Structure 1
Amino acid sequence: MTNALLSINKATVRFLNTTLFTGLNFNINKGESWALIGESGSGKSALLQTIAGRFNITGGEIDYHFWHDYAKFFNANDIATPHKLIALVEPKHHFRNLSNTTDFYYQQRYNSSDSEDALTVTDYLNTVPRFSHDNSSWTSEKVVSLLRLETLLSKQIIKLSNGETKRLMLAAALLKNPLLLMLDSPLTGLDVKTREEFNSIIEQITASGINVIMATSIHEIPAVITHVAVLSKGVIIHESTTQDFKPELFQTDTTDTIDSSELSALLNIDKNPATYNVIVKMDEVHIKYGDKVILDNVNWQINPGEHWALLGPNGAGKSTLLSLINGDNPQAYANNIVLFDKKRGTGESIWDIKKKIGFVSPELHQYFPTDNSCLQVIESGYYDTLGLFRPSNKERAEIALRWMKALEIAKYARVLLKNIPASAQRLCLLARALIKNPALLIFDEPCQGMDDHQQLHFKNLVDTICSLGNVTLIYVTHYQHEIPNSVDKVLRLDKGKVVS
């Protein structure tokens, strides 16, 4: 029996008409756990997808040694392909509704009748296929305890926060008792407490005999990881043990320049001359679903030109609070909420509200249709639609391209959104939020998946926008260093209550 777990030898890997890897070599031995690092678009996610069997290998080979070992001791007919012994946790979930006929849609979690068309956390975990082998140690009770899901078991999966969803996806992967667990940016969306616990979680996973490969930031390599591979432009440029790895040699370029004159010009195109006395005012806002209180008597006033950070752990109620402002939550009508000087329910439409707001969130990214080109996605921001459903306007498309240049993603203009890296997808949605020069910007975890340079550039861009105009900002993040310098006010939620 060989000590090798997986071998990729001189592989050419293709997806559609694109060659992702040429002459790819990557070898993993039993007992090793690997971190994949590199700048955005370097090939980290593509390597995980290749191992998971999602892409075509047109040259060379990939050998799943662990599958051959499994077949010697268990019924290979139960595992028709090696990929069933692999679990891949991706940045996006693939939840389906109860009838398994359609995917969920954006805003569904806030509509009481439609949100019931979803499995509970318990039901979802019960649907996970499981395979037996000598390391089958992960049970429902064990994953629920490890990932702190006890209080979520009766909750519909569509109602989970971004961080809660990430914990559920990892729990489901462990229930499969895989021989190889692959994690794509597993720490994005997790609050400080869960990130601090992550070292212990990965340590318990590897101690159970599961090999781990994770794509992660150079700053977030768990202590239990034994090896590091650095990727750049589809090539593995470095491999070493974690002990010998020198991160200072592979830091992402953090030099940055902002074209303030171009940004000022963009911010003055079709600028809305309207002025407001109050952007948001909430008095004793109370939201509940069944017996579960989500927001508990929240008071919050946001005045024009103020820059707020909205902070709190996973499940604190931040997304629900934002949904009341962005017009997505019908319970706004049952509460005392003023938006742009008008009380909700006094005649304004959802579209009247949305045209004044530039919004991006993990949920919007999750459900945004991906069959438009990136330029079309950004132009759709003028119409507040999820994609462009009308002929492109030449002048507006040119403005969209200028925003793409400002965000350093112009090379993707004619590429379908689904065919670009996840970090670039987020930047497209950020450009979509900015293009109409709204009075209020709501950025909910906008830097997820971005490399160091992208994060710095976006942070500088936000600070420049705030310095050039009277825009109002709400910024949500779990990382203190991501908060723009222009933010000078904080609302902190915990268990639905304002705590500071």
Structure 2
Amino acid sequence: MHTAILSVKHITVGNLEQTIFKNLSFQINQGEQWALVGESGSGKSALLQTIAGKFNITGGEIRHHYFDDFIQQHPVDDAYFTHHKLIAFVSSKHSFRNLSNTTDFYYQQRFNSSDSEDAPTVENYLAGIHPTVHTRQVWSYEQTIEQLNLGALLNKQLIKLSNGETKRLLIAAALLKHPTLLLLDNPFTGLDVQTRAAFNNILRQIAASGIHIVLATSPHEIPDTITHVAVLHQGEIINSLPKAAFSIDMVKVVPPPPIDADELASLLSLTTALPFTDIVKMSDVTIKYGDKTILDKVNWLVKQGDHWALLGHNGAGKSTLLSLINGDNPQAYANNIILFDRKRGTGESIWDIKSKIGFVSPELHQYFPTDNSCLQVIESGFYDTLGLFRPSQPQKAAIALRWMKLLELEQYSRKHLKNVPASAQRLILLARALVKNPPLLIFDEPCQGLDTHQQQHFKHVVDAICALGNTTLIYVTHYQHEIPDSVNQVLKLEKGRVVS
């Protein structure tokens, strides 16, 4: 048996005519569990994808020693049985498909009852996961359901899962494949405090079961079971060491620049501020899907200029509550809801509502088309469409580019959204929400996947916007340190009910 389970030697890796790694070396030994850390765009996710075989290696080599050892112990008479069968990769995005298996999910499907019926349940999805290795039964179906706390979700449709629930499901599906090597791309993003603590324990059990873990994560969230840390910077591993010797200051953090207050004020002045009294007024709002109550008699008043934090555990009802405000949930018509001083169902269109809102969420990022350039994606914010479906207007494109510069994104202006790092994609969608300077900003976990520099810079921009005008803000996060200083009111949900 080899001492190393994986060795990467002097590899050059390219994707879409871009060199991602050059002369990169990395090794994982028996019993080691690795965390990859570094600033956004440093190459963490790309290294996971390289190990998983998703990128082209044009120089050097990767040796999958764990596969050689497996074949020696369990000879397989199958030419198609390769090392890929022993790897499970959980990316930051899912690839769920409808029951018809003809189309992917789309953004508003979870709120439309007739269309959401075409989505598999958690139980359906897991039933379709078949172990690629039958000789090592590490995680049974029952054990996996129990440890990932999925029992209560088995009859829930995939499209209706919260961000954190989806993450647990994807990890369960990976374990049911009985991998030797488990690759996790930012597994803690979207998880509430309790779920993060429980997941830390699950990772310990995964490692104890003989599965080797390599995960990309924030340097502030390195699980207990991790034994070694690799620090990446601009496509290079600049440090590789035992976790006990790692310190957070090994990850390069550039302090954010001062906000260009004059430029921000100029951008905000391009739109005439509309006066409202009640931005949101909900009275005993209740949302049910079948026998399941998602929101239970919610009362909430948001006045113009208010700055709210919306908090709660995974599955508490936050996304459903926001969908009622953003015009995505048709059950709004069956409830007593006033938006922008007008009762829902009195003749306003969804587009009337969306024109007054700048919105971003993990689900929007999941389903947003990626074939437009980043500049076009931001310009689409003027029209509230998922992409630019009309000729670009030079004046609007110029405004979009100014927002890109303010958010340190101008280098991505001509690149397609799919070809930039996930953190940049999220910032592009945040710029899209800001570009028309709407009276209401709804930011649902906006800092997911952003590094410390990006988080600090974005928070400063949000605080400056709130200070310069009468913008109303609703901000959702599972991390206290991400909440902007301008937030001064809190609504907390617990199992669909307001608890504070």
Q: Spell out the pairing of 1:68-83 with structure 2 (5 A cutoff).
A: 68-77=68-77, 80-83=81-84
CA contact (8 A) 1:36 1:214 kept: yes
Relative to structure 2, which stretch is displaced further, 472-481 or 15-24?
A: 15-24
2:410 matched residue in structure 1: 410
CA contact (8 A) 2:284 2:298 kept: yes
1:157 matched residue in structure 2: 158
- In 1, the alpha carbon distance for the partners of 2:126 and 2:251 equals 39
- In 2, the alpha carbon distance for the partners of 1:193 and 1:16 equals 40
1:292 matched residue in structure 2: 292
CA contact (8 A) 1:272 1:438 kept: no
Counterpart of 1:157, as a letter, is L
- In 2, the alpha carbon distance for the partners of 1:12 and 1:355 equals 46
Counterpart of 2:333, as a letter, is Y
Q: TM-score, normalised by structure 1?
A: 0.98
1:138 matched residue in structure 2: 139
Deviation at 1:251, TM superposition (A): 4.6
2:203 matched residue in structure 1: 202
1:28 matched residue in structure 2: 28
Name the SS of the counterpart of 1:76 in structure 2: coil
- In 2, the alpha carbon distance for the partners of 1:267 and 1:441 equals 13
Q: Spell out the pairing of 1:354-393 with structure 2 (5 A cutoff).
A: 354-393=354-393
Name the SS of the counterpart of 1:57 in structure 2: strand
Cα root mean square deviation, aligned: 1.0
- In 2, the alpha carbon distance for the partners of 1:274 and 1:195 equals 41
1:468 matched residue in structure 2: 468
1:96 matched residue in structure 2: 97
- In 1, the alpha carbon distance for the partners of 2:302 and 2:209 equals 50
- In 2, the alpha carbon distance for the partners of 1:144 and 1:254 equals 43
1:459 matched residue in structure 2: 459
CA contact (8 A) 2:35 2:228 kept: yes
Deviation string, structure 1 residues 303-342 (Cα, Å, up to 9, x no partner)? 0000000000000000000000000000000101000011
Deviation at 1:274, TM superposition (A): 2.2
- In 2, the alpha carbon distance for the partners of 1:255 and 1:404 equals 15
Counterpart of 1:332, as a letter, is A
CA contact (8 A) 2:39 2:251 kept: no
Q: Spell out the pairing of 1:224-235 with structure 2 (5 A cutoff).
A: 224-235=225-236
- In 2, the alpha carbon distance for the partners of 1:116 and 1:303 equals 36
In structure 2, runs of 5+ residues without a counterpart are none
Deviation string, structure 1 residues 237-260 (Cα, Å, up to 9, x no partner)? 110011122322325223431111
Q: Spell out the pairing of 1:399-438 with structure 2 (5 A cutoff).
A: 399-438=399-438
CA contact (8 A) 1:283 1:337 kept: yes
Deviation string, structure 1 residues 111-131 (Cα, Å, up to 9, x no partner)? 001001011111111111203
**CA separation of 1:77/1:426 partners in 2, compared to 1, >3 Å: closer, same or farther?**
farther
**CA separation of 1:389/1:29 partners in 2, compared to 1, >3 Å: closer, same or farther?**
same
Name the SS of the counterpart of 2:389 in structure 1: coil
- In 2, the alpha carbon distance for the partners of 1:220 and 1:499 equals 28
Name the SS of the counterpart of 2:240 in structure 1: strand
2:343 matched residue in structure 1: 343
2:303 matched residue in structure 1: 303
Counterpart of 1:93, as a letter, is H
- In 1, the alpha carbon distance for the partners of 2:408 and 2:351 equals 30
- In 2, the alpha carbon distance for the partners of 1:273 and 1:213 equals 49
1:2 aligned to 2:10? no
CA contact (8 A) 1:179 1:210 kept: yes
- In 2, the alpha carbon distance for the partners of 1:209 and 1:424 equals 35
1:265 matched residue in structure 2: 266
Relative to structure 2, which stretch is displaced further, 223-232 or 254-263?
A: 254-263
2:122 matched residue in structure 1: 121
Q: Spell out the pairing of 1:5-16 with structure 2 (5 A cutoff).
A: 5-16=5-16
Deviation string, structure 1 residues 184-232 (Cα, Å, up to 9, x no partner)? 0000000010111222111100000000000001100111111100001
Deviation at 1:134, TM superposition (A): 5.7
Q: Spell out the pairing of 1:220-259 with structure 2 (5 A cutoff).
A: 220-259=221-260
Deviating above 6 A after TM superposition, structure 1's stretches of 4 or more consecutive aligned residues are none
CA contact (8 A) 1:74 1:133 kept: no
- In 2, the alpha carbon distance for the partners of 1:432 and 1:451 equals 20
Identity %: 66
1:398 aligned to 2:398? yes
Q: TM-score, normalised by structure 2?
A: 0.98
Name the SS of the counterpart of 1:450 in structure 2: coil
Name the SS of the counterpart of 2:107 in structure 1: coil
- In 2, the alpha carbon distance for the partners of 1:256 and 1:135 equals 53
1:178 matched residue in structure 2: 179
Name the SS of the counterpart of 1:295 in structure 2: strand
Deviation at 1:75, TM superposition (A): 4.2
Deviation at 1:343, TM superposition (A): 0.5
Deviation at 1:70, TM superposition (A): 1.2
Name the SS of the counterpart of 1:176 in structure 2: coil
Deviation at 1:132, TM superposition (A): 3.3
1:483 aligned to 2:483? yes
